[in-house]
């Protein structure tokens, strides 16, 4: 009886720390807020994923006032009545063929991307609501020369509400997002981290993760919690078992 108890508690003494270590490792790995975005090479629909660009806007005194790291893909579909055809184009923005400019004011900030030597102009305007201290993407405009079209085509929407973040924090979304801008134009974004206001020292503020990413992290958190519950049960069983064997010793 005491022999079996000894073997049992020896087993538990060895396995318990092991399980604990695994669970702790698991939960730290999933719960800890990642500060850097790792590149995943998930397979994607026909056009490959756009490269992630690093875009910066500096204010007049030379300090960075807007920071945006993101991959951008334009999805354009237009019907041209005079040419009697529908043009469907998916265009990846190539960061190394892009010139960045823009401006920063108290409650608006803009990011201007000149792509392919001005053949494509893409502008993002961010607004800050100073009552709620939230910023958001409020306007997108695009002028693009498509090979299938004689004239450059333009899109603009000034009443958007995307990429919402809190002043002092950066907005982060690793998952692909589709921002529909206007009939015929949507923008797919990849691995976004941006901050249009309150950038200090050329660095992002703490990241606020988007809903898509949080949903993605929910499953590992649930698994971690279940494992922690299991450990608790094992721990209780161990403590009860130890108490019993102590009682056993006393009767001898």
Ligand X SMILES: *[C@@H]1O[C@H](CO)[C@@H](O)[C@H](O)[C@H]1NC(C)=O
Report the interface residues with ligand X, using CB under 6 A. Answer: 45, 47, 51, 59, 61, 63, 75, 77, 84, 90, 94, 96, 114, 118-119, 121, 129, 131-132, 143, 145, 152, 157, 159-160, 180, 182, 186, 188
Nearest distance from C-beta of residue 110 to ligand X, angstroms: 12
Give whichever of 3 and 151 is closer to ligand X, judged by the CB atom.
151
For residues 194 and 111, what is the distance between their CA atoms, to the nearest angstrom? Answer: 11
Q: And the tokens for 62?
A: 């030379």
Give whichever of 37 and 144 is closer to ligand X, judged by the CB atom.
144
Give whichever of 40 and 96 is closer to ligand X, judged by the CB atom.
96
Nearest distance from C-beta of residue 214 to ligand X, angstroms: 21
Three-state DSSP state, 32: coil
Give whichever of 212 and 239 is closer to ligand X, judged by the CB atom.
212
Nearest distance from C-beta of residue 59 to ligand X, angstroms: 4
* CB atoms near residue 197 (< 10 Å): 25
Q: And the tokens for 54?
A: 């690093």
Which residues does residue 162 pair with via DSSP β-bridges, in sequence order? 137
Nearest distance from C-beta of residue 92 to ligand X, angstroms: 10
The DSSP code sequence of 121-186 is: EEEEEEEEETTTTEEEEEEEEEEE--TT-SS-EEEEES---EEEEETTSEEEE-S-EEEEEETTEE
């Amino acid at each position: 009886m005491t022999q079996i108890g000894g073997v049992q508690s020896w087993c538990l003494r060895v396995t318990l720390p092991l399980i604990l270590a695994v669970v702790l490792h698991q939960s730290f790995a999933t719960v800890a807020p990642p500060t850097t975005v790792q590149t995943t090479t998930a397979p994607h629909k026909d056009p490959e994923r756009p490269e992630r660009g690093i875009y910066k806007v500096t204010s007049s005194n030379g300090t960075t006032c807007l920071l945006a790291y993101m991959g951008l893909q334009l999805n354009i579909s237009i019907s041209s009545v005079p040419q009697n055809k529908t043009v469907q184009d998916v265009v990846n923005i190539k960061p190394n063929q892009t010139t960045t400019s823009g401006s920063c004011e108290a409650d608006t900030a803009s990011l201007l991307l000149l792509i392919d030597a001005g053949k494509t102009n893409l502008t993002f305007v961010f607004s800050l609501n100073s009552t709620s201290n939230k910023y958001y993407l409020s306007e997108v405009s695009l002028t693009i020369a498509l090979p299938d079209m004689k004239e450059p085509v333009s899109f603009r929407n000034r009443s958007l509400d995307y990429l919402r973040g809190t002043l002092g924090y950066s907005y982060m979304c690793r998952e692909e997002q589709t921002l529909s801008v206007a009939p015929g134009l949507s923008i797919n974004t990849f691995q976004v981290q941006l901050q249009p206001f309150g950038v200090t020292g050329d660095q992002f503020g703490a990241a606020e993760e988007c809903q898509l990413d949080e949903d993605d992290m929910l499953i590992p958190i649930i698994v971690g919690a279940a494992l922690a519950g299991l450990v608790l049960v094992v721990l209780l069983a161990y403590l009860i078992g130890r108490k019993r064997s102590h009682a056993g010793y006393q009767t001898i």
